[in-house]
Amino acid sequence: MTVELVRSSAHDSDVLFAARVSTQGEKTLDAAAAGTGATDRDRGLINYLMRDRHGSPFEHNSMTFYVQAPIFVFREFMRHRIASYNEESGRYREMRPVFYVPGPERNLVQQGKPGAYDFAPGTAEQTATAQWEAREIATAAYASYQRMLDAGIAREVARIVLPLSLYSSMYVTMNARSLMNFLSLRTKREGSHFPSFPQREIELVAEQMERHFAELMPLTYEAFEKNGRVAP
């Protein structure tokens, strides 16, 4: 999975001036222009906002990521209707023959009940089967796709034979509040107030986005962790 931070306007100071306008009004303009340091008072305010779930101050920022992942990951990603997406189009370009094949480290055996699944390692035979089947179907599907294109069939029709393991790419733009909501659901962490059980492939994407978030907004990220990884 590939995640790149393309551009951002995201700082802890964005949260602070947005929150303080409720009591200071136009006096916050100077702080908004100059930024602010990570004082104990700033840390306390951000923690208070996070703890008591005053969410709107966390919306006054922006992060744009470029993501490459299998289409089945994107379909889970786009369940989060709190971001802006632009994805590569199979109508307008010929899709590349890049497909996801689970590696040997991918746990394969599902255990538990719906909504709380856990996964255990597969046997060597199960891993070999998963990899062989994934490669076989991808190879056959792409050959079918090429035959349809060669016959003059439109790309938007030919693509219907391609499996969800095909890689695609997209830009996704969201603010910190939206990102924290995404992270709370798409990562599994000890200490989370509401445990989540994400599919491992989307968690790999979320983990990379989380590292960028922690670097851009360290006070906000610290409060997110401290308060059980619950989006405000």
**68 secondary structure, DSSP code:** E
Enumerate residue ranges in the chain where pLDDT < 50.
none
Q: Strand locations in the chain, DSSP E?
A: 2-9, 62-70, 84-87, 109-111, 118-120, 167-174
For 67-115, the pLDDT digits (tens) are 999 999 999 999 998 899 999 999 999 999 999 999 999 999 988 887 7
186 a catalytic residue:
yes
pLDDT at residue number 113: 81
Smallest CA-to-CA distance from 81 within 7, 178, 164, 6 is with: 178
The per-residue pLDDT for 96 is: 97
Check 159, 177, 186, 229 and give the catalytic one.
186
CATH of domain 2-69+168-226: 3.30.1360.170
pLDDT of residue 22: 80
Q: pTM of the prediction?
A: 0.92
Cα angle 178-106-68, degrees, rounded to a multiple of 5 = 45
Phi, psi torsion values for 88, nearest 5 degrees: -50, 140
For the chain, which residues make up each domain, given as ranges? 2-69+168-226, 96-165
Dist. CA 98–CA 93, nearest whole Å: 14
User: Would you give the DSSP letter of residue 161?
Assistant: G
pLDDT at position 209 is: 98
Question: What is the pLDDT at residue 114?
Answer: 77
Q: Is 84 helix (H, G, I), strand (E, B) or coil?
A: strand
Q: What is the pLDDT of residue 150?
A: 98
**Six token digits for residue 197:** 């059980």
